[in-house]
Amino acid sequence: MKIAIMGYGNLGRGVECAVSQNDDMELVAVFTRRAPETVKTVSGVTVYHVDHLLEKKEEIDVLVMCGGSATDLPGQTTEYAKYFNVVDSFDTHAKIPEHFARVDQAAKEGGKVAMISVGWDPGMFSLNRLYAGAILREGKDYTFWGKGVSQGHSDAIRRISGVKDARQYTIPVEAALAAVRNCENPELTVRQKHTRECFVVAEEGADQARIEEEIKTMPDYFADYDTTVHFISEEELRRDHAGIPHGGLVLRTGKTGMGGEHNHVIEYSLKLDSNPEFTACVLAAYARAAYRMSKEGIMGCKTVFDVAPAYLSPLTPEEMRSRLL
Amino acid sequence: MKIAIMGYGNLGRGVECAVSQNDDMELVAVFTRRAPETVKTVSGVTVYHVDHLLEKKEEIDVLVMCGGSATDLPGQTTEYAKYFNVVDSFDTHAKIPEHFARVDQAAKEGGKVAMISVGWDPGMFSLNRLYAGAILREGKDYTFWGKGVSQGHSDAIRRISGVKDARQYTIPVEAALAAVRNCENPELTVRQKHTRECFVVAEEGADQARIEEEIKTMPDYFADYDTTVHFISEEELRRDHAGIPHGGLVLRTGKTGMGGEHNHVIEYSLKLDSNPEFTACVLAAYARAAYRMSKEGIMGCKTVFDVAPAYLSPLTPEEMRSRLL
């Protein structure tokens, strides 16, 4: 199937790499809002300005949307779902229902399949919440994130005056995790679930004590957490904190037996060296599903909940049953 | 939806319990090959002899098959898929393709949905192998079982002369698990992955050294493993080893990046106090899916790979998107 990428940042590069790992996919183009001659792809695939996207309609089976959720995807996915099978990683959880409604209308208008909110959370974590909840009907869900870099929290620190650069790690609290795994069904506050660790490069002469105080008391982002702040050099930041690792865990504990006498723990965890590259791999798998479902005449907006797992695998049904079942 | 149970052992009792945890399900009958008056259900639901099953055809939406894979399910699922939507937990991995083919023909003949090999392995573990393999295309799969009771291995010990009763636990080797999680991609022998621990009640005067030797050298079951044998009293066995716990882990590690420079670990694990009750919960969720898919006119044999996750949840699509995605 012929794949195109819309938007060429970390995620777009990740999709380029993911497509190269899938024998049944070919990357045919990258589209950008920048001047195409300024964008150099890793694989050498041609870069076009987004203005030429519709002209290539017949050459593209699935368009993978690689913009951001805040400002790019709400408009872009809705617009292009009229013309292409699309997959996006829209991750503003609270706005998913309205995004779904808009994209669904567009995709039905165009007779296309539009997969939204694909990645790991939303995405694989959501799937695991659904499966575990359908199995253990009497139980409790827990989601932990990290250890990993939160781009939003890093950006928030960078906006403080006197801060040159920063990297923030979200870290699950081991004691909380242990209590969950032990079926204690703890009620956990925000502070009890995660800690936040910040590595900050201050501008020369900046008041570090004031910066640290501003970070630790920042509402929503840090005030509700136990936060540690380390001041480091620009060189250290580049050397030790260049990666974009992330991950996390979804757990459900529940009881069975006529007296609820048996405990069960379902746990799904991810440990990712590169958040965007892993997300891109999930996007590629769901691009395959979008293509296949579209071929079957299915249309409209879909999420990971609507996709039978078999659509994701390059194996035949017979191979799946004999090798994986 | 109206559920009936075929076969009332540990699994059947587990399904009875699982149905009671699902508000949208009602248990209407239990069928048995034994004399019905000798079978007492936990919930008090009526027990019929299997000879009366077909008479109840119109009162049953899904028949959950709770027999064993060795001798019951191959015949039973095939037979009853002609008349009922059925779900089974057929778990003889090597024979799944032929079971599928037979059941598929029967279900299509009857215009019914037949879900086979539902549970945790095959079942949830299979799903996780499929999802992880579709995402991390360049990687390696690992499945570990335990700590848990293997019924087959316990039975094998019981067949040794001089053995009154026995319980065998399969235990994953921590060092192997650590190497996998550390992305070392180890090639693991059977012995390196699991150890086997046996609790044996010997008959009075039996030669314990001979029994231990027979266990440890038993081909297929124990010879390829590091096996520990403990002799205990009947009372100790009853007191400390009455449960049927099990569980295990499915891991996939893989690489991304143009130079394969980033490692990722996907891990799914189950820790179950009661193997049959958990399996029963999975059967109940897939019974819901079978019912819904049948209502949509779908027919034939299906596995967990063919079922869109949304079919499993009692939530509406809107609720799923807003609460779980």
Q: How many CA atoms lie within 13 A of A3 on its CB side?
A: 29
Amino acid code (one letter) for A259: G
Q: How far is CA A40 from CA A30, A32, A37, B251, in A?
A: 10, 11, 7, 36
* pLDDT, position A52: 97
For residue A2, count other CB atoms closer than 10 A to its CB: 17
Closest CA to B287 of B15, B52, B9: B15
Chain A within 8 Å of B129 (Cβ-Cβ)?
Answer: yes
- Chain A segment 86-115 residues within 8 A of B by beta carbon are 93, 96-97, 100
Q: A275-295 and A10-20 helices cross at what angle (nearest 10)?
A: 60
Q: How many CA atoms lie within 13 A of A1 on its CB side?
A: 22
Residues of A whose CB is below 8 A from B278: 135, 256, 264
**Cβ–Cβ pairs < 8 A, chains A and B:** 216
Q: What is the complex's ipTM, to 2 decimals?
A: 0.97
And the tokens for B33? 């090959």
Q: Cα–Cα distance between A305 and A293 in angstroms, integer?
A: 14
Chain B residues whose beta carbon lies within 8 Å of the beta carbon of residue A280 = 256
3-state SS assignment for residue B240: helix
Contact residues, B window 263-292, toward A, CB-based 8 Å cutoff: 263-274, 277-278, 280-282, 285, 288
Does B314 contact A at CB distance below 8 Å?
yes
pLDDT of residue B94: 93
**B285 contacts in chain A (CB < 8 Å):** 134-135
Q: Give the pLDDT band (50/70/90) at residue B258.
A: confident
Per-10-residue mean pLDDT for chain A, 325 residues long? 98 98 98 97 97 97 96 97 98 96 98 98 98 98 97 95 98 98 97 98 97 97 97 98 97 95 98 98 98 98 98 98 96
Average pLDDT along chain B: 97
Name the DSSP class of A204.
T
- State the average pLDDT over residues B125-149: 98
Give yes or no for a cis peptide into B122 (omega within 30° of 0).
yes
pLDDT at B310 over 90: yes
* pLDDT for B140: 98
Pairing between β-strand A2-6 and β-strand A62-65 as defined by DSSP bridges: parallel
B309 touches chain A (CB under 8 A): yes
Report chain A's C-alpha Rg in angstroms.
22
Chain B residue with the nearest C-alpha to that of A310: B305
Residues 6+ apart with CB under 8 A from B156: B168, B218, B221, B222
Could you give the maximum distance between any two Cα atoms of chain A, in Å?
68
Which residues in chain A are contacts of B136 at CB distance < 8 A? 281
Please list, in sequence order, all residues whose beta carbon lies within 8 angstroms of the beta carbon of residue A99, skipping any fewer than 6 positions away: A73, A74, A77, A78, A90, A92, A116, A117
CA dist B8 and B30 (Å) reads 7
- Chain A from 10 to 29: CB within 8 A of any B CB: 14, 17-18, 20-22
The string of pLDDT tens digits covering residues B209-251 is 999 999 999 999 999 999 999 999 999 999 999 999 999 999 9
Structure tokens belonging to residue A183: 């079926």
* B42: nearest CB among A42, A138, A258: A258
pLDDT at B288: 98
Beta strands (DSSP E) in A66-138 are: 85-87, 113-115
User: Do the Cβ atoms of A253 and A180 come closer than 8 Å?
Assistant: yes
pLDDT per position as a tens digit, B20-55: 999 999 999 999 999 999 999 999 999 999 999 999
The yes-or-no verdict on residue B314 having pLDDT over 90 is: yes
Contacts of B259 (CB under 8 A, 6+ apart): none
Considering only alpha carbons, which residue of chain A is nearest residue B272? A264
